[in-house]
Amino acid sequence: MGDRVTVGTQTPCGQCRECRRGEPHNCDINWGFAPNFPFSLDGAPVASFANVSSFAEEIVVKASQLFAIDDMPPEQGALIGCAVSTGVCASRVLGQVRAEDNVVIFGVGGIGVNAIQGAARMGAHVIAVDANPAKEAVARQFGASAFVRADPAQDNASAAAALAQGHGPIDLVVECSGAVGAIETALRCTKRGGRVVLIGMSRSGAQATLPLEKFVLGGEVIATMNGGALPDRDYPELIAQARDGRLNLADQISGVWPLARIDEAIAALKAGEVTRALVDHER
């Protein structure tokens, strides 16, 4: 009672086949897709993605979703359960990044900056790619050693070749934008035996072309929603790294809006003006 906590986004049952196999992220009721919800309205269930309800003033969650943050500022703690854990673990867990790797990160947003610092702090050379030139300063702040402005007019094969020639061999790509063009470029620019981690969520019905010849001689394409993070394993360590300065959370927060001005926060996010926009219910 009274502990300051951050709320995780995974809600596995802990009993099904996938949970028993140590793969709770594959549980059918993970991310809040539970058969029963604690609240209803007019006889219909009130669902909440990941059982978090980000814009609700009060929430009911599982005890397993809560992780103590002690004296960490709550604005920073709020980032752990999604953007921080997803981005950092995409590079470190699924990407298996190593020192001296050449790593390309597509999309310098909330998840992208954490993929950048997750790789950079392991000693990798990070190349950030974004269509917004203003994102260069942000990318470098979190550890990118190079920045490439994505050109929508350039075909994907040429963009991939330019990345490989200018910054290769590329060991790992983490795609955080969900743009089909970025995904197809990511799939084409890695070295033989390279690894591609796909995080960005595309529009419903979107399709990308997979260049099969690129993977005949080896390589991996891994799709993920959370970067391979396991809360019990990873959240305490991420919280510790943030508290002692090994992870930069403070500079991810571009602004804090009261709930009454949430439309402004969303507009700023859509315009690419923020890294993370927070909503404070007490303002």
In this structure, are residues 276 and 79 in contact, taking their beta carbons and an 8 Å threshold?
yes
Q: For residue 152, give the nearest of 166, 138, 132, 137 by alpha carbon.
A: 132
Task: Specify the pLDDT at position 1.
Answer: 76
In terms of pLDDT, which residue wins out, 194 or 49? 194
In this structure, are residues 106 and 126 in contact, taking their beta carbons and an 8 Å threshold?
no
Task: Specify the pLDDT at position 185.
Answer: 97
Residue 143 has pLDDT above 90, yes or no: yes
- What domains does the chain contain, in order, with CATH numbers? 5-82+231-280 (3.90.180.10), 94-223 (3.40.50.720)
Residue 9 has pLDDT above 80, yes or no: yes
Task: Supply 134's token pair.
Answer: 């203003």
Distance between alpha carbon 125 and the CA centroid of its chain, in Å?
19
Tokens 């917004």 belong to which residue? 132
Q: For residue 163, give the nearest of 137, 194, 132, 140 by alpha carbon.
A: 194
pLDDT of 60-103, one tens digit each? 888 889 999 999 999 999 999 999 999 999 999 999 999 999 99
Indicate the angle between helix axes 180-189 and 156-167, nearest 10 degrees: 50
pLDDT of 200-257, one tens digit each? 999 999 999 988 888 888 899 999 989 999 999 999 999 999 999 999 999 999 999 9
Tokens 């610092």 belong to which residue? 117
Model pTM score = 0.93
Task: Specify the pLDDT at position 103.
Answer: 99
Please, which pLDDT band fits residue 36 given cuts at 50, 70 and 90? Answer: confident
Tokens 């080896």 belong to which residue? 218
